[in-house]
Amino acid sequence: MAAAAAAGSCPGPGPGPGPGAARTKKKQKRFVPQRVKLPRAADPLLAVLAWGVTHQINELSQVPLPVMLLPDDFKASSKIKVNNHLFNRENLPSHFKFKEYCPQVFRNLRERFGVDDQDYQVSLVRSPPRWAGSGRRLLLSADRTLVLKELSSEDVADVHGLLSHYHQYVVQCHGQTLLPRFLGMYRVSVDSEDTYLLVMRNLFSHRLPVHRKYDLKGSLVDREASDKEKGKELPTLKDVDFLNKNEKVFVEEEQQREFMDKLKRDVEFLVQQKLMDYSLLLGIHEVERGEQEEEEELEEEEPGAGGDEGGLGGPYGTSPDGLGGLLNSYRPLGPGEFDPCVDVYALRGAEGAPRREVYFMGLIDVLTQYDARKKAAHAAKTVKHGAGAEISTVHPEQYAKRFLDFITNIFA
């Protein structure tokens, strides 16, 4: 297997506006074991996660990169069990286990996605991630560059089943994909309870807040957000809402063509794996609104007040290093500007569009197999809504066609 062609280059789905956003930063390979301030044991899961990721990344740094991945690498794992851990009991529980799945495979994927291991470690553990939303299903890294999704043991098996095909596809497309960018998978065991976590790049920006977001499947049955959801500060709207609001995505024709070419390749891969029920997650940043919010935040800050150590430093900040730290060597980015090395799913709004906007678009929830359970759900919904209804549980080829037809029409 050849060395990762995508490592160190990040053209991303589209360039950011402004000259500062178009440059990329070539980073020298360096690995210095990091001193990490662990979260207190009040959240032992996050404390063990920080300890385990640091331990595993440091261990990997001592192992030469393999010339090629072998079939056994896709079954491998690295485990450590700690009992009577007393020397740091304020920060860590006395008994815990940590497991990394397929460490060499995910190391290779990180390289192909242009993610340096030390930056990955710093983004994950320098400040503890925080739970996003109401349910404990998603964690967001403190610098907002990484998302950690809590999985079931069945989901872990699904990732294992997909991983070799996914890796091969990432190699073929040189890391240029709208699929989730899988970067690591772990099991954290505390008090005899296992928590499985899959680490991915954040689809949304680490510095430009999203003001509207949609989960789009191309189906119209049961695809309107509930009144409860619509009452949230940032609701996740759906296909019917998108149509009812006459929403459109305004990007240049070339960007639209490149995006759709990439999406069609990705969807073809999902069809080959008999996967369905995925969505396009669309986030929209309104440039003028974001600029106004930033000014209001600055006005509210006390003169000379500092942010939390290792924290975000306000709504647009990043950690000193880590994946978001790539921007630190550039001039400050202006309103609506982004670096495609960091905001890898971003597309700039077209010149002359009704509003200045930045779009973040990528595929999510790609692990659902069209199995007996989905076939039964399809039959039940067909009886309820009729054979011609735009229901979501259809076979992968039909799902893909309807999905692509819908997404093609979201553009102005």
343 is catalytic: no
Instruction: Provide the 3-class DSSP secondary structure of residue 279.
Output: strand
- Residues 198 and 181 sit within 8 Å (Cβ to Cβ): no
CA atoms of 101 and 204, how far apart (whole Å):
26
Say which amino acid occupies 275. Answer: L
Cα radius of gyration rounded to whole Å, the chain: 22
List 249's β-bridge partners, or say none.
Answer: 411
The one catalytic residue among 73, 143, 277, 321: 277
CB atoms within 10 A of CB 381: 18
Catalytic residue among 149, 217, 238, 374: 149
Active site residue 75: no
Neighbours of 192 (CB within 10 A): 7
Contacts of 327-333 with C-beta under 8 Å, sequence gap 24+, read: 327/207, 329/25, 330/20, 330/23, 330/25, 331/20, 333/16, 333/18, 333/20, 333/21, 333/207
| Bridge partners (DSSP) listed for residue 198 | 149, 185
H-type helices in 126-272, by residue range? 153-172, 227-230, 239-244, 253-272
Strands 236-237 and 212-216, how do they pair? parallel
Q: Which residues are catalytic?
A: 149, 277
